[in-house]
Structure 1
Amino acid sequence: MGVRVRIKLEAVTGKTAYVIALLNSGAESERPSIALPMEIAEQLELDKLKAETAYSEEATTSVEIKLYRDAVKCTLIDGNEELTSTILDVAVAEGLTEPLLSDSAIDALNIEILSFSKGLWRIRGENKIRRGM
């Protein structure tokens, strides 16, 4: 099933998007980051920013990505409640079908995954258990 959460992305361009993102513990990154499909990157007008060309190593291949450093403020949302926020780098790659939060982004948002198969998570240090989207 995987764990998916609702987040608000506020880009340095002034644009905002609300999306459902998959918590991808297998996506390792030194800095908190999110991988976005091109459509969401366009909605946030990230193409107006300077991007670095980088490569993402995946299980069987290497993919060229556009990397925007410190490009969005990401706020974790549960219902109408804003829980935690952090600044993220954004990786944009062709063919991506949904937003993916990296391992370091998951940590920066203080998310503790309790069950991948049941989609259960909580904020580190809290008792309230939440169900993914």
Structure 2
Amino acid sequence: MAVRLRLRIRVRDRIIEDIALLNSGFEAPTPQLLIPISTARALGLWPPTEDAREVTVDTAGGPLKVWLYARVAKVKVITEDAESRDAEVDIIVSPLADEPLISDLLADELEIAVESFGKGLWRFRNDPPGKLRHSAE
């Protein structure tokens, strides 16, 4: 199992909710959310607008061309009983992604503490000790 979180993503006047994978190997210089083209389309970011920059990123599978939208979105984690604060994020649109991916710095901004990647357990840093949350379906 992995840690997946329900996110509310806002770009301008468009708001969607989606499940995103917390990827500890997604190291980024800024808080970033990598999204597939289908999510970009729902947010009005596909086809690429004038705000997008085509860049090449290094991945485990080699170099990949993506579209970067700097500081274009606000993201928060939504649970049954709590929400994180809003985080301002860069959006990266990947033609190969099949689900949104949360970068290391975005996880920090959202104040996520992973308790067990294998069991899909996590908590907000300000949750009471012992409070465990389960990965989103």
User: What TM-score does the superposition give when structure 2 sets the normalisation length?
Assistant: 0.91
Q: Structure 2, unaligned stretches of length 5 or more? A: none
Who is 1:43 aligned against?
42
Residue ranges of structure 1 left out of the alignment (5+ in a row) = none
Let me know the Cα RMSD of the aligned residues.
Answer: 1.2
Structure 2 counterpart of 1:25: 24
- 1:3 and 1:30 mapped to 2: Cα distance? 22
Distance (whole Å) between structure 1 residues aligned to residue 85 and residue 6 of structure 2: 12
Deviation at 1:80, TM superposition (A): 5.6
Separation of aligned partners in 1, 2:50 and 2:124: 32
Instruction: Give the fraction of aligned pairs with identical amino acids, expressed as a percent.
Output: 33
Q: In the alignment, residue 129 of structure 1 is paired with which amino acid?
A: L
Please state how far the C-alpha of 1:49 moved relative to its aligned partner.
Answer: 4.8
Q: Where do 1:97-116 residues align within 5 Å?
A: 97-116=98-117
> 2:62 & 2:9 partners in 1: Cα distance?
28
Cα distance in 2 for residues equivalent to 1:17 and 1:56: 26
Superposition misfits of 4+ residues, deviation over 3 angstroms: none
Compute the TM-score of the two structures, normalised by the length of structure 1: 0.94
Q: Distance in 1 between matches of 2:55 and 2:126?
A: 35
